[in-house]
Structure 1
Amino acid sequence: MVKNENALQQFAQQRYKLFQDQNSQTGQFDVTFQFGDKKLFAHSFILWPISKVFEKMIFGPLAEKGPITPKRYEYEGFKEFLTYLYIGKCKIDAQNVMDLVDMSECYHIKPLKDECDEFITENANQTENVLKLYESLKHYTLKAALAKLLETIASKTPEILKSIDFLEIKKDTIMDIVKMDNLTSKEEELFQAVLKWAEHKHDNNEGMIKTEIAEVLPFIRFPIMNLEFLHSFVGLRIEFFDCQNFKAYADVQDPNVIEAIRKTLKNIQGQKISLQHFHGLQIKKMSNKVDSPIGNTKYYLVYGSSWGGLTIQRYDQQRDEYVYLRQNVDDSWFFKQFDVIAPIILENNNFDVRCEITVKVA
């Protein structure tokens, strides 16, 4: 069999010329796409052999009668996409690449998807739009591009944390970032950026902010932070150790509570002591109590004003392990009954509050 590549290219260009001209009188088109008041004409013999989706759309039992309306796409972007089907190439740039990715995924055009993957990978070292690109690409299987975007986030973390785009990203993206172990920002910068993100999202509503960042906090590496920063920005960190030395912690932010704890500790701050040491603790007035559940937190640090002391109490909405079984109360009962200081974050789910707990205050 004789194969003439030049002839094949010439035939392809002739077909594309008909498509490019969009002359419905001479183009012999049999497929019409409608975009508002604009129409885009094409040939079914170009579309259906390449894409099973187009085949079903044009010839299947649910084939549309009349013009097809691709509601998710714009005229120019879809025309560029069809250009690729006619001649195997099209214009790919920063403005249309995500639309082309989506169309290649929707209509199962893998070669175009691979070219978009390559384009993003080659241009992913720019911080501009890197977060938006990352969030968009998570829905697609563009492994090379995703890996490159993560590499950019890691290498340019300080710049990205300060960007306006960071304030607008989704929580699952925040979680992806804080879980990375190769970020180039200081942990203090990461924590401040997450806090600003939560403040921006919830318009400085303190209760909502606490709930929002509760899931993030376990992935912030507080131990490597500057101690002065911790005290001024986070508050006072109390670490708890059970009898198997499993660890949990609470970040106390109420200034009156912090003052009372420091007075009680005097010269033993930084040493491990029994939780019983805090019996007799006197707090004048709590100004920053936790008054509602924070995420899925099970345990809270509580101040017992009647006896003066700190305890760990379990909050359980199902009440299957607690005395709440005796009362028909709403979920806020726990926070009305106790002076709740802070949520307790478990570093190990096997942490056992039933054994003797020792405490260390940073």
Structure 2
Amino acid sequence: MKSMNYINKLQPVLEAAFKSQDPDLFDVVFDINGKKIYAEKLILSINSSTFKSMLSDRWISKNDSIKIQTYKYDDFKEFLTFIYSGEYNITNENIFTMLDMAEFYQIEDLKELCDEYLSTMELNLSNIIQLFEISNKYSMIQTKKPVQNFIFQNFKTIFKSDRFFNAEKSVVTEIIALGQTFAIKYEEMFQAAYEWVEYHVLEKQKELNVEAYKMNDAINVEMQEFLPYIQFNQMEVSFFTKYVVKRGFIFTFDELSDILETVKSNVKVKITNEYGQSIYGLLPKENNAVNVIKSLKCSGALGYWLTNCRMPSTPSPLKKRIGAKCYLFYFGDGDIGIYTNPRDDDYLLAEMFSESDIKFTTQNCKIEIV
């Protein structure tokens, strides 16, 4: 049998003992810039594998203090207070320190509370890169989702910011890689990667102060890490020829020639609602859907067009991405339609974009190849 009354009394007693900081009650002492904090080896060891390892290597006497040089006194005491009481006082000023201590000393409950706190923090251009770094470094599940959504929704603005240009390459790579999951335009992904690389290569040139510094070669090397995330065949030909081709030195001649041929083989599909608002997508010329769309003579209702054709038997090479405005796709019976969230068994034809919000109307939706 257990006495719950006794158990419920025990926790407040431990908490009160820690707050008293009576040296006679403890067998471990921490020294932070000459100020001491007393604690109990047993309590620390059963709550933290890091403390267990740290305190098991040798006997710690009361006169043999453990110096803490990484953290400030108030922050470390707040951290130990959580271990003894479960209470925490997380603020915008100490959150990153508390998180770092929770990670280093393996206090998962505190780490989860830090994650919860960060997930509700107001996001802006000043803190988004830092929070993205933190969410990756500490595997913050709750924080990661709103941070990723903010980057997706504000990508074009973020990649023009000073904080983006000053971010580490590993962080920029992960931000660019978001385009595989979120519907960031590949044109914007390439431009963001290139401008970040160009900025850092120029800074390197200034640092080395070498006139003969081979800028293009340096940019070429740095860009290779970003290129696998970018689907050039999903770029509009106008952007590719005006922006990418001018920076063609990052490809071999054959690579650039093959990509250009693929880009030029695309045609643009345009859907216009009854208010004259339009969305656009890209289709390969050889895709049978191009001929099907050209043959359609009537407007669609609810973005749905009867085609009397068959859906391809092979899987679509196009994959759904989070936040896409909508997709043009084949229904199971071969008819063509647009929908914001097609099913997994629908055959995706094109991811559709628009420069502004568009209202999907119930009738008179015109589809055409332009």
How high is the TM-score relative to the length of structure 1? 0.56
Distance, in Å, in 2 between the alignment partners of 1:52 and 1:270 is 59
1:139 aligns with 2:140: no
Following superposition of structure 1 onto structure 2, how do residues 335-346 of structure 1 map, counting pairs within 5 Å?
none
SS of aligned partner of 1:34? strand
SS of aligned partner of 1:78? helix
SS of aligned partner of 2:69? coil
Shift of 1:66: 1.7
Shift of 1:185: 4.9
Question: Relative contact order: is structure 1 or structure 2 higher (C-alpha 8 Å, sep ≥ 6)?
Answer: 1
Structure 1 counterpart of 2:255, from 249, 252, 255: 249
Structure 2 residue aligned with 1:61: 58
Distance, in Å, in 2 between the alignment partners of 1:48 and 1:123 is 32
Following superposition of structure 1 onto structure 2, how do residues 19-168 of structure 1 map, counting pairs within 5 Å?
19=21, 28-61=25-58, 66-123=64-121, 125-168=123-166
SS of aligned partner of 1:39? strand
Unaligned segments of structure 2, at least 5 residues? 206-214, 266-370
Shift in alpha-carbon separation, 1:270–1:146, aligned structure 2, 3 A: closer
Shift of 1:77: 2.0
SS of aligned partner of 2:114? helix
Shift of 1:93: 2.6
Shift in alpha-carbon separation, 1:62–1:141, aligned structure 2, 3 A: farther
Shift in alpha-carbon separation, 1:147–1:248, aligned structure 2, 3 A: farther
Distance, in Å, in 1 between the alignment partners of 2:11 and 2:38 is 21
Partners of 1:56 and 1:62 within 8 A in 2 = no
Shift in alpha-carbon separation, 1:134–1:97, aligned structure 2, 3 A: same
* Percent identical: 29
Partners of 2:237 and 2:264 within 8 A in 1 = no
Partners of 2:165 and 2:199 within 8 A in 1 = yes
How high is the TM-score relative to the length of structure 2? 0.55
Following superposition of structure 1 onto structure 2, how do residues 137-216 of structure 1 map, counting pairs within 5 Å?
137-180=135-178, 181-183=180-182, 185-203=184-202, 205=205, 206=215, 207-216=217-226
Shift in alpha-carbon separation, 1:212–1:54, aligned structure 2, 3 A: same
Partners of 2:18 and 2:39 within 8 A in 1 = no
Residue type at the aligned position of 1:154: F
Partners of 1:158 and 1:184 within 8 A in 2 = no
Partners of 1:237 and 1:251 within 8 A in 2 = no
Shift of 1:191: 2.6
Partners of 1:56 and 1:63 within 8 A in 2 = no
Shift in alpha-carbon separation, 1:106–1:63, aligned structure 2, 3 A: farther
Shift of 1:237: 8.6
Shift in alpha-carbon separation, 1:217–1:177, aligned structure 2, 3 A: same
Shift of 1:184: 5.6
Structure 1 residue aligned with 2:242: 232
Distance, in Å, in 1 between the alignment partners of 2:30 and 2:14 is 21
Distance, in Å, in 1 between the alignment partners of 2:257 and 2:222 is 15
Partners of 1:236 and 1:251 within 8 A in 2 = no
Shift of 1:34: 2.2
Partners of 1:83 and 1:89 within 8 A in 2 = yes
Partners of 1:237 and 1:249 within 8 A in 2 = no
Unaligned segments of structure 1, at least 5 residues? 239-246, 253-268, 272-362
Distance, in Å, in 2 between the alignment partners of 1:191 and 1:95 is 36
CA RMSD of aligned residues (A): 3.5
Structure 2 residue aligned with 1:17: 19
